[in-house]
Structure 1
């Protein structure tokens, strides 16, 4: 059966008719039956047809039969977040033409979608998701749950966090054998400000990652759990420092600079919110040095570094201006409207142009954040604007902001 599929595939690829392929070997009728798997045929005929198509039928058969094994291995690598190996396999599979005649083509598309969501290639992921949705009714039970997992990750990536939580919770856990789903549920609950559930699911994921020695995922999960614990304002900060330093050491042992950058960023934030501005700035800078200078993740830490410097007053105005210009250039080049807005606000802060700052915040920034679902980012800015209006006696405007915050359950 597989031989017939392969022969038909390469015959069409070579743009040969059945008559042309079978000339001097066998009849058109026989070729037709071979391709449809309706007849027995001698190895000699297979060899002759393979030579005419310039293929090694044994190698092609092994390739077709091993596709599922390769896909399962790719999925394991994606789950473990070994993205260098995942990229290698992605490139290898992309050159495999036999997916077109394989029964695993949908599974392949699902893994492509998952890989691209995790890599941040959201346009490509969305296109694959839309293709899968067309044949959604024909997915197996496992594929249906895998698709929901991918959708949950995708919604999280585009900041539709409630959708993400609902989609991930709709998975049939009894028929889905990927325990890393618990980490993603934890991250989703973190995004909707549910620290107890975020910690609960992260802990379930951590048990799995420890059993399977997935050290990169252990770093991610312990980092997520630490963020939830830090929601307790009465926790001894010495414990926090010790745990973050242990995580940083683990990142270095695993040679995982991307993980270290993330941990450093979160560690910096914990210093920032405790008004330890100089140390926060040092940590943000260390995080920036490990990141691609054109990436959103770099801008995230650059924003934190500028905030620390503004509040801690440890950088001269000229240096602050250079940092803001850098952020604006990167954001503009990458068409990142959110960070263009944030660094423009920093610009007004540095120049001490308070009226321009709050006018721009009210008329440009908050409408953009609200319209694009950036509710978490909008929260602190709304409070700033509320305080500004209150301080300056703009009671009506302050009331409008307060009402908006209450309606969004942010106040």
Structure 2
């Protein structure tokens, strides 16, 4: 056992300095060497240090069976078995050794972050991740693997897709030096496919999605296979290979119908709606967006409510493109009503824009210039920077404000040239 790392972990966890822990036992300099595994102290010294920390030295050196339960919990989290994950979380939390043992505590906190993301408690997951970073220099290679993987997920949920990809690649590097299960390898590849798709590295995303799909299919994991088909559908749509995109969406839909997975069905129909919109098949887009609403079900969770609002936003834009102002107004009204129960700054701006547009509100240009475009620039959401910049450029041109119009037109063109394959809704 690496006593030094365990000592440092408990000292930091209890908010003690090296001087406070070492006082009257050894020098702070010698404690520093112990914590950095530069020396092996006498057992008597370790016992005194553990006693001061209130930790049972013999207990800390015991290989707890809780490690197996932790791994069982993590597997339930990865496969989104919420009821099982909740039960195991409660059992683990009641076991004192899980929280007092260095290794068990680190794994518990790492897995708890992913559990919180599963429960859509993103901010709490982020706070837990920030707290855990103070113990990073006590991690072994197995902990490093999970830390980088979990860090990739946290950054993905925060919208930092390139950073998420880099963290997941670090996890991939550690995966060669630690023992992980086959399902964990496929999970890593799937997360790499997600992050690279959102970061617009389409070829890389297809590579990882294909590898994940191969493993899932070999284990007859239908649900995870459907997830991969959705990612591939989005990627082929961005590459303008619409036939291949639809093929993957239909495969995902076929699986989701067999497994009664409403979440996947909803994602399939939303993304077919996006594809049909790109092809200017506005009625077909409307049909698919409405179909996605049929699978909304309980929209209390964050992803469900976000997808509900995405579908409504899609319906607003398609009705507007068709010149159906009444239909557009109806969906704007429904969207704004949904915001009362499911607040979303992103969708609030979308709905407010169309509200101002339909009512010919004079401050729409100021609204775009000072609220909407800066908001999406801050979040690096290129799709909406392009869309709203082009609209603003047209408006400014009609008022003969050519210099300002060209500024926004250049911004849109630069992003279009750089990100010509935007589009698609992922998990």
**Deviation for aligned residue 1:354:** 6.8
Q: Displacement of 1:38 after TM fit?
A: 7.1
* Greater relative CO, 1 or 2 (CA 8 Å, sep 6+): 2
2:212 maps to 205
Equivalent position of 1:347 in the other structure: 355
Which residue is equivalent to 2:270? 265
Larger radius of gyration: 1
The DSSP-based 3-state class of the residue aligned with 1:174 is coil
| Shift of residue 324, structure 1, vs aligned partner | 1.6
Q: Classify 1:78/1:394 alpha carbon distance in 2 versus 1 (closer, same or farther; 3 Å).
A: same
What are the ranges of 5 or more consecutive residues in structure 2 without an aligned counterpart?
1-50, 421-427
Distance of aligned partners of 1:376 and 1:133 in 2 relative to their CA distance in 1, 3 Å threshold: farther
Indicate the residue corresponding to 2:75 in structure 1.
76
Aligned CA distance change for structure 1 residues 148 and 241 (closer, same or farther; 3 Å): closer
Q: Give the CA RMSD over aligned residues.
A: 2.8
TM-score, normalisation: structure 1: 0.77
Corresponding residue for residue 257 of structure 2: 252
- Whether 1:152 and 2:152 are equivalent positions in the alignment is yes
CA contact (8 A) 1:288 1:301 kept: yes
1:47 aligns with none
Do 1:190 and 1:228's aligned partners in 2 also have CA atoms closer than 8 Å? yes
The answer for unaligned runs of 5 or more in structure 1 is: 1-31, 40-61
Q: Note if 1:284 corresponds to 2:294.
A: no
Shift of 1:361: 1.5
**1:101-116 aligned within 5 A:** 101-102=100-101, 103-116=103-116
- State the distance in 1 between where 2:367 and 2:233 align: 35
Check conservation: 1:247, 1:263, Cα contact below 8 A.
Answer: yes
Shift of residue 333 of structure 1? 4.5
1:187, 1:37 → 2: CA distance?
44
The answer as to 2:381 corresponding to 1:374 is yes
Partners of 2:410 and 2:247 lie apart in 1 by: 41
1:138 shift after superposition: 0.6
User: Runs of 4+ in structure 1 displaced over 6 angstroms?
Assistant: none
Are the equivalent residues in 1 in contact too, given 2:76–2:85 (CA < 8 A)?
A: yes
Residues 332 and 340, structure 1, Cα contact 8 Å, conserved in 2: no
Distance 2:140 2:371 in 1: 47
**Deviations along 1:157-200, whole A, 9 cap, x unmatched?**
11112211222222323135331111111111111212111111
Q: Once the 2 structures are TM-superposed, how far is the Cα of residue 205 of structure 1 from its aligned partner?
A: 1.2
Number of equivalent positions: 350
Map residues 6-45 of structure 1 onto 2, 5 A cutoff: 36=56
What is the CA-CA distance between 1:369 and the residue it aligns to? 1.8
